[in-house]
Amino acid sequence: MTSPKHSSHNLFSNATLDMPRSKSSARWLKEHFDDAYVKRAQAEGMRSRAAFKLEELLERDRLLKPGMTVVDLGAAPGGWSQVVRLRLGDKGRVVALDILPMQGIGGVEFIEGDFREDAVLEALQARLNGQRADLVLCDMAPNISGVGVVDQARTMHLAELALDFARNWLKPGGSFLVKLFQGTGFDDYLRGLRADFARVTLRKPRASRARSREVYALATGLRIHPAQAGAESSEGAAP
């Protein structure tokens, strides 16, 4: 795509991070393809190694229940949506959003576009029939520039966008799972989560690489503030 709006579209997907260059690129590739979780994903027909991170988190925290509606932000290539669909069976809904195209997954409703844009949110509202989600997932990560302060700022920006989405689209009492990287803005972000949710815990799945600053914040029990409650009673269930 060539329009300015989409020139940096990879920023909003967890599909692929820009790989390091030259010798470091070769090392990264070797490590990637030697990785036990990559091999397991290929053997089991999963779309990404990230699927095993979510499997562990779902098992540990019992996040899924029959009949739930789950929204997966930055879903491509579809590893997390794939896991949720398998876990829910035929009881529940999975709606995936990404600015990048994603190969179809049976039982997963996919909306292609930027979740900040009105047209995409209107499409989501139509899919949900005016209802809200029980769980919002976000495994998004920015393209890596190699400049730490820039990459951290981009990561936290994505997390802020996802949190804003969760505030608007979760049911009262709903849950939000988001990938974060420890660094500038991390503590402030957690304070914001704790203001909006009854409980916030940090998780480091075994499938996360040990040297990575990556952690997952699980926020459960979305609080409804008085102003939001008033808006809901006057406007109905849909955002």
Which two three-digit tokens encode residue 219? 């926020």
**Strand 197-203 versus strand 214-222 pairing type:** antiparallel
CA 189/CA 180 separation, integer angstroms: 9
Are 213 and 192 a contacting pair, CB within 8 Å?
Answer: no
**Catalytic site includes residue 53:** no
Residue 135 β-bridge partners: 70, 175
Catalytic residue among 5, 91, 179, 204: 179
* Ranges assigned E (strand) in the chain: 69-73, 93-98, 108-112, 133-138, 170-181, 197-203, 214-222
Are the C-beta atoms of 52 and 37 separated by less than 8 Å? yes
Alpha-carbon distance of 143 to 236, in angstroms, equals 38
Residues 89 and 205: their CA atoms lie apart, in Å, by 23
Residues with a known catalytic role: 179
